[in-house]
Structure 1
Amino acid sequence: MRFPRLLRFVRNPWVQDVALVSPLLVGSLFALGVSISLQTDPTGPLLLLAGALPLVWRRRHPLVVAALTVGLDVSVPIVIDSTVFLGMTSFIALYTVGRHRAGRLVLLTGLATSTAYTVSGLIDQYDPAQPGSAVPPFITGFFFPFLGLGIGQFVRLRRELKERRQLEMRDEAIRGERRRIARELHDVVAHHLSVINALVGGARTVLPPEPTPAREALEAAEGSARQALAEMRQLLQVLRADTNDGPDAATGVGASGLPGLVEQSGNASLRVDGEPVPLPTAVDHAVYRVVQEALTNSRKHAPGARAGVRVAYLGKAVEVEVLDDGSPVKTVGGGSGFGLGGMAERVALCGGRLETGPRARGGFRVYALLPLENA
């Protein structure tokens, strides 16, 4: 594109409407000037000007503009007895209604304008001595409005179909990219996790039984590697899925997995208040991840501390609280800080509230309130 600013200017709807109306306005103003200079009746140019000017606002207020132009068009032959033709402005206004409105509103607009044109035609053209003179007003009155509305509806539907095709093409491209990422994860990350799991398991089998802490550390590392592999496979299923349930739908973690998570932690306890109920997928996943991240931070920053996990079902919300009694220990590098940020993002996506910080009597507190209605 050599002239992007010019193209954006030309494509502006306001500019297009002004460009459409400009010839009608210039013509009516020119005719008005001529009639004034020749001292003739200026009614015709004034009517053209009055009918063309509202078209500038046809996109913003299509129904109002259509009512003004059609009302002016049908009343001129009756009230003023003028031969000026305002059908072009009315046709443009009716086309705009069909282009930017849909459904019953377009049908009602067509019926109202058709009735108005038919009545106006009958008053202006009907001769009781010639019964056949009533036929043309009926035909013209019903054909003219529905033609403009129909062309507008056709253009609108064609545009919507084009946008739908573009949306489908975009969704297909997204699905293709997800499948490509899934292949990369399977071929690279999952492979290395499998190798780590195998190496840790092999080291554990050849290690003498005496150094218990080393053996326990290797067993924990092997279990973490197996869990990472399992979650990696679940993520691959999510990436390969073509459903719109969201990335949390197939991960397989939720409030039901909290007992196993707390037991695996080894230094935490779980308390459930209220009657457990099925949770929405996003909330269910967020509950698990909040507890998981809080326990991970507790083990990382306060080794040996005891942690208590409380989950309360409050009817319209679920409450999650994780407390530990440890003192923070400085770690090398200070941590990335991504854990609490990711936790806050998950809670915010569910419309909930997250509170984190040190406790007055020592230790750390993580509290999340997740509403069920917003989810």
Structure 2
Amino acid sequence: MEDEGGTGVRGRGGPAGRWRDGPPWVRLGGGARRSGEWRARWPWPSTLLLAVFVLVGTAFAAHAQQGTRADPDLFARVLLVVASVLLLWRRRRPVLVVFGTCAATALYLGAGYPYGPVLLAVVVACFTAVVTGHRRAAWTALATLWAVHVLVAHWLYRWLPPSGDASASFGQEVVVATWVVVIVAVSELVRARREQWARERAERAQAARRRADEERLRIAREVHDVVAHSLSVITVQAGTGLALLDSDPEQARKALTTIRAAGKEALGEVRQVLDTLRSPGAAPRAPAPGLDRLSDLVAQADRAGLTVEVTGEPPRLPPGADLAAFRIVQEALTNVVRHSAARHARVRLDRADGTVRLRVDDDGPPTGTDAGGGGNGLAGMRERAAALGGTIEAGPREDGGFRVLAVLPLGAEEVPR
């Protein structure tokens, strides 16, 4: 059974859990596939049961109203069967069915046959028409049926069977009108609830898609930051090793050792990200990196030929903000290695006014058109900062270098997913 975080949400136990999408008997328009399945079924059992009930109930009603209403004959039974059988099409042709049942019922009552469960077919047809969205058709059919009944009961009864029939009381018309209002009100209530359930289903599906998109974006950022940083170190060290392979074998050995360490670390972090995909509900096997590992970044940059000077103590941040700060500094240093000829960079950490400021400067000059990095790198940093309510400023400095300035709230947490 799936939990509420999945796309196919199904509650646990109880009517409230089982009917998250509405009771099955009013789930008439929940999506194209479900609607198609619902429309493909013919309601034989319920229609047959209702037809039997109408015929048997009318027989008892005729016995109770003997002498005041005409006895049901073959024509009366045909009208009862027609009004009931029409309900087979109530899901496919609700407008036709509601007018057909009202017409058959109007003929039945106009012929002076006994009152009875024949009105049940009208109730079912009207209910289906309103719930499926054909409200005006249902109201029009019911109003027409009631108008016919008023004409027959107060004017046309003189020329219609049974002979010697008297005019109906207006109290009876009030009762009939009350039943009409009740039928319409109940149908409208069910229709409103069905539309609410449909909206809730759509909102849950949209929320699930949004969570999935955010998770994919988070994983893409993690993989990009890990791979881009590690490959930058590996590329620089590989170039150094190739250049010094003959003239300085010992230095070339150190470069290869750095490549192996960077590759091993990258594989570990990528494996950790992939583990979250395989078992999203499980806790990560290793803690996410944070500013406490800033010394590791400095050491990696040093092995890549970039001297990094750190000013300020790393503040204690919530896990989400700590990871974002680490990745921002990592991406900034990676961009210096990849896109700048600078051999020195400075990382400054400041705390002020409930925020932490991360500033990464290099002396330049840039080695290509993508000074400071382009594309996914800067975009990923901005997304991380924005998710925490912070900001990122990145651009060239007046003295020819490049600066990345991140401002993150100290009490920030990750946006809930």
TM-score bracket, shorter-length normalisation? 0.3 to 0.5
TM-score (norm 2): 0.41
TM-score (norm 1): 0.45
Task: Kindly name which structure, 1 or 2, has the bigger radius of gyration based on alpha carbons.
Answer: 2
